[in-house]
Amino acid sequence: MQHVSTAAATRPSSAWTGWGQWLALITMTLDHLARYVVPDAWGLGWADSSVGRVAFPLFAAMVAWHGLFNTRNPLRYARRVLVIGLIAQLPYMLMPREADGLILNICFTLSLGLAGGTWARALPERLERGALGRRRLAVEAGIALVVWTLAGHVVEYSHLGLLMIPLYMLAMAHLHRSGNGVSNRLASTAMALPVLIVAGLMNSSDMAKSFTVATTLAVLLLAAGAHRLPSEVPLRMPRRLWLGWYPGHFAAIALWLWVSGGLAT
C-alpha cells in the first residue's frame, strides 16, 4: 500500500516494508496452516508460539508506519483496512475455535488502532490551536475509552492489540525525530517502552513473548535510523496479492476444511 507523504523531505525510507509484507504474509500463513490444517500428530504446534507471533506486531508496525509517514489521510487508510476485514470476516468465522461468541478479525484491530492513533496524534496540535476545549476533550476521551473497552472484547488480540498501533506511532515519531543529545535519546527510549511492554504482555508463553517483543524492537530500531539500511525488495508484492491474501487464504482454508470434513456441519 503506497501513499503520498505530507513531509517527503523528512520522511524515513519505507524500503523495509517491502520485505515486511512478504515476512508478515508468510509467517501468518504458516501460523494458520499449523493451527487449522496440519494434523496435531505432525507436532507443529510450536509454530503458533514462534513464527506465528511475528505477523501481528509486523502488520501493526507497517500500518502505523504508513499512517504516520506515508499518507495524507490516515482515516481513509483505516477505512480501506476495515473493508478488507469485512470481506474476510465470513471465512474467518469458519475457522474452528475453542472460544464461543463473535470475534472480529485482525483487520478490525488494525483499523480501530490506526483511528485511535490518528486521534491521539492530533490532540497536541488541536490543543495548541485552541480548537479543542476541555469539555470537548473530556467527551472525546470518554468516547475513545468506551470504544476501546467494548471493542477489546470482540476483536482479535483484544484490548492490548488495540493499543499497539497508537503506541507504535508514539514511539516511531519520537525515535525518528530524536536528536543526538543524551536527553533526547532518553526521552525517545522512554516513548518506546510502552509498546514493548504491551507486546510482552500480549502472550503467555516465554517463546511467544520473545518473538513478539523481538519483532517490535526490530521495527523501533528501523524508526531510530536503521530504515536507511534495507534495500528495495527484489520482488515487490503485487498490490492485489497484498490486499486479497488475508481474506483469500481464509477462504482457501475453509474450503479445505469443508472438503476434508474438518468443519462442523
Q: Which three cell numbers stand for residue 75?
A: 482515516
Cβ atoms of 77 and 9 closer than 8 Å = no
- Kind and range of the H or E element at 187? helix 182-201
40-66: average pLDDT: 87
46-70: average pLDDT: 92
Cα separation of 79 and 63, whole Å?
Answer: 12
pLDDT at 3: 42
pLDDT at 75: 96
Is pLDDT at 9 greater than 50 in this prediction?
A: no
Q: What is the pTM of this model?
A: 0.90
Cα separation of 56 and 215, whole Å?
Answer: 9
DSSP code string of 63-100: HHHHHHHS-S-HHHHHHHHHHHHHHHHHHHHTS--SS-
Q: In this predicted model, which residue has the larger pLDDT, 161 or 138?
A: 161
Q: Is 158 left (phi over 0), alpha (psi -120 to 50) or beta?
A: left
Nearby residues of 252 by Cβ (< 8 Å), 6 or more positions away: none
Q: 19, exposed or middle or buried, with CB in 10 Å at 0-12, 13-18, 19+?
A: middle
As a whole number, the mean pLDDT across the chain is: 89
67-73: average pLDDT: 94
Q: Give the lowest-confidence range in 20-29, 126-135, 215-224.
A: 126-135
Of the pLDDT bands very low, low, confident and very high (cuts 50, 70, 90), residue 10 is: confident
Cα separation of 121 and 4, whole Å?
Answer: 19
Q: Give the lowest-confidence range in 57-61, 135-139, 182-186, 214-218.
A: 182-186
Q: 181, exposed or middle or buried, with CB in 10 Å at 0-12, 13-18, 19+?
A: exposed
pLDDT at 100: 67
pLDDT at 16: 97
Cβ atoms of 35 and 192 closer than 8 Å = no
